[in-house]
Amino acid sequence: MEEGSEYSEFKKHRFDIKGIGRDRSMEEYAKFVRERSDAQIKSLRSKLPHGAAVRVICVRHGMGHHNDGFELASFMNRDAELNRVGIEQISYSHAMLREAGVFSSRLLIVVSPMQRTLQTLVHLMGKEQWDTPTIVHPLAAETSVASRFKAPGFVKKLVANVQQELTRMACVAGDRGSTPSTLRKLFPREQYPQFDFSTTELYCEEMGAQWAAGGQDEGKWWHHGNSTGLESSSEDAKARGDALRRMLVREARSRGMQTVLLVSHGGILSLAFKTVPFANAEFRTFHLSVDGDIVDALKAKPCARS
pLDDT at 301: 46
Is 278's pLDDT higher than 50? yes
pLDDT at 21: 81
Strand partners of residue 136: 111
Q: Helix (H) and strand (E) counts for the chain?
A: 10, 6
Cβ–Cβ < 8 Å for 76, 281:
no
Of the given ranges (58-62, 118-122, 154-158), which has the lowest mean pLDDT?
Answer: 154-158
pLDDT at 244: 98
**Nearest one of 185, 166, 271 to 229, comparing CA atoms:** 166
pLDDT at 69: 59
Is 204's pLDDT higher than 80? yes
Is 168's pLDDT higher than 80? no
Residue 238's contacts (CB-CB under 8 Å, 6 or more residues apart) are 271
CA distance 23 to 17: 10
CA distance 131 to 11: 39
Share of the chain above pLDDT 70, in %: 76
Mean pLDDT of the chain: 85
What's the mean pLDDT in 192-211?
97
What's the mean pLDDT in 180-200?
97
Tell how far CA 31 is from the center of its chain. 20
